[in-house]
Structure 1
């Protein structure tokens, strides 16, 4: 199992944070998602990993799902939430199987393991992506039952490379949306 950092609040409500391949829980989107969750009284379990070289997308999906299941199975909380960024969104089938609410930041909308789960989910779900991200599919996102935040021009990091001030504004919008979503859970 991957390394984990735990931040305690309400032990009855636990959020599992799954990073991207190169986007750790210390990076801004996940750091502030953790801050929102803690402010809203959730315990946060961060998963830190160094993904292995996997032969194909099915193997990557299986590996991420295994990491998510291992983290979830350690919890005895009454309420669980999954939060994932990019590679971490391969855990979407786990959220569907367990009927868990989820926050998916830059979901890999071109991957069948992810898209199948996104279209099947009935639990509260937030999808956040940018129109400048080749892995984002706004039409697919809007066709689901999920709440969707689509950022014009934002890349896979939900930033605009030529405009760091705009990137900070995007971060604020994402954090405010995550806060509103978590407040309704």
Structure 2
């Protein structure tokens, strides 16, 4: 879908350290921000959009600092660092989460000045438990909303920094 809007895509797959579960929240945030910043810098100033899921939202501070539009699928809205970063970002931002996700906070999402797609009964995987057909419909809704959001940004050519 991003390619159809003229964007280039750099997929980033992380090798989470084996002792990551022992990291403090601050250490986790620093590690994720380092990964996200490295990916952005690898684009040599051409990064015009960040898309991340769950743990990736700990890098939302990078998007805020660099004024980058972002899509955060199932962001960790129960973590104050993520919420603070989302409050201070002024770039277009789409948040997608489900009401059955323990890391999603409907109240916080509603108070942020961003585009929000909240899916009733969806879990952290954006699925509806044992409802396969319903989960496919959720995926359709998420992709359609993402398509509209990305389309509103224009082509994938990053503005000069």
TM over 0.5: yes
**Alpha-carbon distance, 1:144 to partner:** 1.0
Q: Quote the RMSD (CA, aligned, Å).
A: 1.0
d(CA) in 2 for partners of 1:92 and 1:72?
12
- Off by >2 Å, runs of 4+ in structure 1: 76-79
Deviations along 1:18-63, one digit per CA (max 9) or x if unpaired, are: xxxxxxxxxxxxxxxxxx1111110000001121122222111111
Secondary structure at 2:2 match in 1: helix
Secondary structure at 2:9 match in 1: strand
**Which runs of no fewer than 5 residues in structure 2 stay unpaired?**
154-161
Counterparts of 1:131-170 in structure 2, within 5 Å, are 131-170=99-138
Q: Which among 82, 86, 89 is matched to residue 121 of structure 1?
A: 89
Report what 2:48 is aligned to. Answer: 80
- After TM superposition, the score normalised by the length of structure 1 is 0.79
Secondary structure at 1:47 match in 2: coil
> Comparing both structures, which one devotes a greater share of its residues to helix?
2
Q: Which among 9, 12, 16 is matched to residue 51 of structure 1?
A: 16
**Alpha-carbon distance, 1:139 to partner:** 1.2
d(CA) in 2 for partners of 1:59 and 1:96?
19
> Comparing both structures, which one devotes a greater share of its residues to strand?
1
Q: How many residues align structurally?
A: 150
- After TM superposition, the score normalised by the length of structure 2 is 0.90
90-99 or 53-62, larger mean C-alpha shift: 53-62
Secondary structure at 1:43 match in 2: coil
